[in-house]
Amino acid sequence: MGLLTPLHRLVRRHFGFSRAETNGFAVLLLVLLGLFSAPVLLRPALPAYNPATDRQQLDAVAAELAAQRPAYTPRFRSKYPQRKPYEAVAQVPLAPFDPNALDETGWQARGLPRYLATRLVKYGSAIGGFKAKEQIHKAYGLTEEQYARLAPYIQLPEALPPRAAREFASRYPKSRFGPDSARFPPSKFTRKPKHLAAFDLNTADTTQLMQIRGVGRRLSARVVEYRGRLGGFLSVNQTAEIYSLRDAPDLVDSLRKYTFVAAGFQPAPINVNKGSFEDLYPHPYVGKRLARVLVAYRAQHGPFKQAADLQQIRTLSEEDYQKLLPYLRF
């Protein structure tokens, strides 16, 4: 009681408890301490775990499953045999050699990879043996560095003599060596004239446009179709607005070179006061958005009296207004 008396006084003074409340509070603390310490005091001692027994059982189950698993036999071993491992070929110092006497191993011994050595052997057999260094130089896959390293040691002339070249071309007419124009069938495409006189862009048809180099059937049809929707070209530079020519400045330059717009040409006008939405929107400088605005503005404010009235439309930029101005009619 000597130790609890100061505690009772402290609790009563701090919390304002009576003597009975202070005693109940002390009993409650003792009960809580007992509850918190009971699991530790009452928990039975667990035996030490020895995993040796379980490990032995698992090893026995694994051995039984391994014995029951069938042996793996690949299904495609006979159809797809394994590739032979690459065997390095001993290199030999470079010395004068006859390329027609070398096999694949001989080319590899002089620093060429196996695929290129195989290609050279087949190439030499196909042409009846190498006759000049230029034939080896033209072999597909042989780099300039590889040829420059081997060329001083190849015992062949640098180039084929003229007579030998003709014999080679006659022997292999399908090869690229030697002129043999008779084996080429005549082309089904007509040659375009080298010297073409300039012609009127607004009266030319697709056949006349196709005479320009680089302009085919499809592109010429697009030029004529754009000209019809536009109402005629006022300048050859307007061809650059065609979708297929926006990224082809060379073709636009060709059109500027071989075509012209006749002086005093009057394009087909656009009647903004009488044209319906369907009549206005196909024009390249109008479109659907501006056509709706034109029809709505005309219905609300009456017909346009002059070209300057179109500048009151906020969606019409100054650049589009200047492009549209020559085609307007009131």
pLDDT in tens, 298-329: 889 888 888 888 888 888 889 989 989 999 88
The tokens for 193 are 């004239």
pLDDT of residue 17: 67
pLDDT of residue 262: 92
Range of the domain at 319: 270-329
- Classify burial at 317, counting beta carbons within 10 Å of its beta carbon; exposed 0-12, middle 13-18, buried 19 or more: exposed
Tell whether 105 is covered by a domain. yes
pLDDT of residue 315: 85
Is-contact 136 147, C-beta < 8 A? Answer: yes
66 confidence band (pLDDT: 50, 70, 90): confident
Residue 158 and residue 215 in one domain:
no
Residue 237 and residue 281 in one domain:
no
User: Per residue in 114-171, pLDDT tens?
Assistant: 989 999 999 999 988 899 998 998 888 889 889 989 999 999 998 887 765 555 556 6
245 confidence band (pLDDT: 50, 70, 90): confident
d(CA 196, CA 206): 15
pLDDT of residue 168: 58
Residue 151 and residue 118 in one domain:
yes
Residue 159 and residue 112 in one domain:
yes
Tell whether 285 is covered by a domain. yes
**Structural domain total, the chain:** 3
Tell whether 312 is covered by a domain. yes
pLDDT of residue 228: 92
Mean pLDDT of 52-77: 80
Residue 298 and residue 242 in one domain:
no
This prediction has a pTM of 0.44
- Evaluate if residue 261 carries a pLDDT over 50: yes
- Evaluate if residue 90 carries a pLDDT over 90: no
What letter represents residue 47's amino acid? P
Mean pLDDT of 256-266: 91
pLDDT of residue 37: 84
Tell whether 284 is covered by a domain. yes
The most confident of 13-27, 36-50, 277-291, by mean pLDDT? 277-291
Residue 256 and residue 277 in one domain:
no
d(CA 223, CA 212): 13
Tell whether 265 is covered by a domain. no
Mean pLDDT of 80-96: 73
The tokens for 278 are 């369907």
- Mean pLDDT estimate for the chain: 82
Tell whether 191 is covered by a domain. no
Name 58's Cβ contacts closer than 8 Å, sequence gap at least 6.
none
Rounded to 10 deg, the angle between the 19-42 and 4-15 helix axes is 120
Residue 218 and residue 167 in one domain:
no
Is-contact 149 111, C-beta < 8 A? Answer: yes
Phi/psi region, residue 75 (left: phi>0; alpha: psi -120 to 50; beta: rest), is alpha
